[in-house]
Structure 1
Amino acid sequence: MVSTFVKPMHREGIRFVAIFAAVTAGLFFLTPVAGWLGVGLTVWCYYFFRDPERVPPERDGLVVSPADGIVSLIEPAVPPAELGMAATPLTRVSVFMNVFNCHVNRAPVAGHVTSIAYRSGKFFNASLDKASADNERNSLCIRTPAGDDLAVVQIAGLVARRIVCWTSEGDALAAGERFGLIRFGSRLDVYLPPGVSPKVRIGQTMVAGETVIAELAGTAGPGQTP
């Protein structure tokens, strides 16, 4: 029962929870009402930085969601130019995270990080289409063992003002492995390789590292059609 409500917190959240707790202690000296409001906000801050374990699918070639949230867009789009990928439209699946979602980001596929590119920008609502082009972002290109290139982009939102990426170029990532985090409310875009169709719909709820977004060509399991 306890594990259902109490989740591990990522280390990125320690100082924020400490700040919220210190402010809350001060608020109690002013008025109990303000103090209890601070308690609620401190609990929310802890919950925002929760980092539960996830169990990715074991079959190779599956593309999993890089974030918790809702599929907000599925459309053709050119990957960020700074990644140096071909300027050809690919299917882009966008997952919008609100301030109540877990914000730890996970690798959508297994592979090596061939490039990482950060670009400063604006802070429009991350659910808007223009956020992909105009907002602050950090982009990664991951090459799978089969040679497919897949882009995943961390996009800051209206409230989020800090993109964290602790992965470097050349690193090997497992599908579902943690690679970054965004504070506080944002979006992840996944650009699928050519010819790969999504298996999700707009409005569908995603679980980072577990929900299958797509299947790479030629990787269908026994008895399945690629």
Structure 2
Amino acid sequence: MFHKEGQKIILFTFFIIAILVFLADRFISADWVRITVQIVAILILVSILQFFRNPRRVSNKNFNEIHAPVDGKVVVIERVMETEYFQEERLQISIFMSPVNVHVTRYPASGVIKYSKYHPGKYLVAWHPKSSEENERTTVVIRTPKFGDILYRQIAGAMARRIVNYAEEGESVQQGEESGFIKFGSRVDVFLPLNAMVSVKLNQKVKGAVTCLASLNTDDGEG
């Protein structure tokens, strides 16, 4: 199954690759050159297909947990000053996505969208310290039943040139549902209350809509 955001690119790539394979078969007489060209062309098509894959995910919805919004590797776990929305310290968990990861973004929690904003910007490498503030990005805030307001930010990387965000203010959303897509390498930052109990470690690989990033303290989770 492939994501709808990749349909045009997949069709265009398939068309170009088909023409290239045909022309190579027709006009390249040297076997090794012809076969090499055709293999490279097919590998490019396979790479595009795997990038836009959209595996079905079943999220075990839990108001007391924040789930990973994307597939990737945890690269940041720290207290930071969040200056766009909260204007106060928050617990930041950042996930880096390589080009081989699934790039579908999913809602990390159920709730109501309170804020959704797109910011044009630069295309620094996704792990650059300034990428969260200077790169092209979207910021989404969900008001949740137990955690209060949580924020996640899609950040474009050096390869990414388009962020797709489906979140609309006032909309009710469910944990694990698709919330967007980032094309070709990127990062997502999640900002949580300071009392959230982190469930992941640095360099841990996580799976969107499945891996629990953080949960509530026992006392906070009751009532």
On whether the aligned pair clears a TM of 0.5, the verdict is yes
Aligned pairs for 1:46-195 within 5 A? 46-81=49-84, 85-146=85-146, 148-195=148-195
Q: Output the CA distance in 2 between the equivalents of 1:90 and 1:149.
A: 11
| Aligned match of 1:219 | 221
Write the distance in 2 (CA, Å) between the matches of 1:70 and 1:149.
24
Is the Cα contact below 8 Å between 1:91 and 1:197 reproduced in 2? Answer: no
Q: Is residue 26 from structure 1 mapped to residue 19 from structure 2 by the alignment?
A: yes
In the TM superposition, residue 147 of structure 1 has moved relative to its aligned partner by 6.3
How far 1:176 sits from its partner (Å)?
1.0
Write the deviation string for residues 125-176 of structure 1: whole angstroms up to 9, x where unpaired: 1022221111110000000023600000000001000000122111111111
1:158 maps to amino acid: A
Alpha-carbon offset, residue 196 of structure 1: 1.3
Query: Counterparts of 1:33 and 1:22 in 2: how far apart (Å)?
Result: 19
Q: CA RMSD in A?
A: 1.7
Query: Aligned partner of 1:156: which letter?
Result: A
Shift of residue 36, structure 1, vs aligned partner: 2.1
The equivalent position to 1:17 in structure 2, one of 2, 10, 17, is 10
Distance 1:74 1:40 in 2: 36
Corresponding pairs, count: 211
Deviation, structure 1 residue 198:
1.5
> Deviation of residue 105 (structure 1)?
0.4
Give the unaligned 5+ runs of structure 1: 1-7, 221-226
Report the counterpart of residue 196 of structure 2 in structure 1: 196
Instruction: Structure 2: give runs of 5+ residues left out of the alignment.
Output: 25-33
Q: Which amino acid aligns with 1:174?
A: Q
d(CA) in 2 for partners of 1:86, 1:152 = 12
Distance in 1 (CA, whole Å) between partners of 2:171 and 2:50 is 29
What is the aligned partner in structure 2 of residue 41 from structure 1? 44
* Deviation sequence 1:17-72 (CA, Å, 0-9, x none): 11111221222213442232111111111111111111222432110000000001
Give the Cα separation in 2 of the matches to 1:90 and 1:60: 19
How many angstroms apart in 1 are the aligned matches of 2:82 and 2:176?
21
Name the CA distance, whole Å, in 2 between partners of 1:89 and 1:197: 15
Q: Which moved more, 1:19-28 or 1:59-68?
A: 19-28
TM-score (norm 2): 0.89
SS at match of 1:121: coil
Question: 1:12 Cα shift?
Answer: 1.0
Equivalence for 1:3: none
Q: How many angstroms does 1:80 deviate by? A: 4.9
**Counterpart amino acid of residue 16 in structure 1:** I
Q: Tell me if the contact between 2:63 and 2:145 (Cα under 8 Å) persists in the aligned partners.
A: no
CA distance in 1, matches of 2:196, 2:44: 42
Name the SS for the 1:133 alignment partner: helix
Find the structure with the greater CA-based Rg.
2
